[in-house]
Structure 1
Amino acid sequence: MCRYAMYGPYKDIYACFKCRKVFKQTSARELDIIKIQNRHYKCPQCSESMKDMGHDFKAPKQNDLKQWMKVELLYNNGFTYHSCGCGSGYRPAKLSEIEEFIRSMKVFKSEGEILLRNLTLR
């Protein structure tokens, strides 16, 4: 069931890769159109731009450098944790699996094809 569509507004989850922290921000549904177009959140600690990770993102422990590196590599290659609440699809558990995962996913060109691939891998 698509829980994000069925139940109240959920906060958006943003990550700061430099500080290795996550922060929840006001959802796009709660903001008016003008504010949505200019949404840009900075980390309260270091002022670096935070990355929109999606509702399904579960942050690694702050001192787990390998997992944070894995998440950053996924983000930089277009893989986030956005979904309707049904899960964002398969994501590798280990840093060593990232290269093969990204290579196998690059076969798909559009965002829709990547989403379809992620859904069929579950």
Structure 2
Amino acid sequence: MCDNRDHRYRTHYVCPPCRISQKRWAPGSRNGHTDPPRCPRCSTEMRNAGHDFAAPRQHDSAGWSVVAAVLAAGLRYEGYEPCGCSREPKFRPRTRAEVRNRREHAGRHQLPPAEALSARHL
């Protein structure tokens, strides 16, 4: 169990098409805004990527396509603790091959894409 239940952590927000990541207070939190942040480049609403997100380098198109696939499936990069200080984050694919294999597995076994993408072992 976490010792920092009362501590607030900032959340990562991303714009996968522009390959931009920012840390912000969550909307509605004590320090947060009322609306999710907007991308400084394209002005679209940025997606909440979770507390444990590690952004790929801006020129890593393969890494950002994996991030886009994970977020499109409705998943976020978070651990088992709701506060964001988890020592073992939940599994998320890191390569295009992992995304492709999990999507194929989901199609063969009629699983929701989010379930297949979040499975550590198929």
TM-score in terms of structure 1 length? 0.71
Q: 1:56 aligns with which of 33, 52, 66?
A: 52
* Higher RCO (CA 8 Å, separation ≥ 6 residues): 1
Structure 1 ranges of 4+ moved more than 4 A: 103-106
- In 1: Cα distance, 2:63 partner to 2:41 partner: 21
> Which residue in the other structure is 1:107 paired with?
111
> Which residue in the other structure is 1:11 paired with?
10
- Please say if residues 19 and 45 of structure 1, whose CA atoms lie closer than 8 Å, have aligned partners that are also in contact: yes
Which deviations, in whole Å up to 9, do the C-alpha atoms of 1:73-102 show, x marking residues without a partner?
A: 111112211332334411222111102224
Q: 1:45 aligns with which of 41, 47, 50?
A: 41
1:11 is matched by which residue type in structure 2?
R
- In 1: Cα distance, 2:30 partner to 2:104 partner: 37
Is residue 25 from structure 1 mapped to residue 29 from structure 2 by the alignment?
A: no
SS, match of residue 53 in structure 1: strand
- Please list every run of 5 or more consecutive structure 2 residues that lacks an aligned counterpart in the other structure: none
2:75 is matched by which residue type in structure 1?
F
SS, match of residue 29 in structure 2: helix
> Which residue in the other structure is 1:2 paired with?
2
What percentage of residue pairs aligned between the two structures are identical?
A: 25
> Which residue in the other structure is 1:69 paired with?
65
- Please say if residues 21 and 62 of structure 1, whose CA atoms lie closer than 8 Å, have aligned partners that are also in contact: yes
Count of residue correspondences: 111
Q: Aligned runs of 1:81-92 on 2, under 5 Å?
A: 81-83=77-79, 84=81, 85-86=85-86, 87-92=88-93
- Please say if residues 13 and 21 of structure 2, whose CA atoms lie closer than 8 Å, have aligned partners that are also in contact: yes
TM-score in terms of structure 2 length? 0.71
* Aligned Cα root-mean-square deviation (Å): 3.1
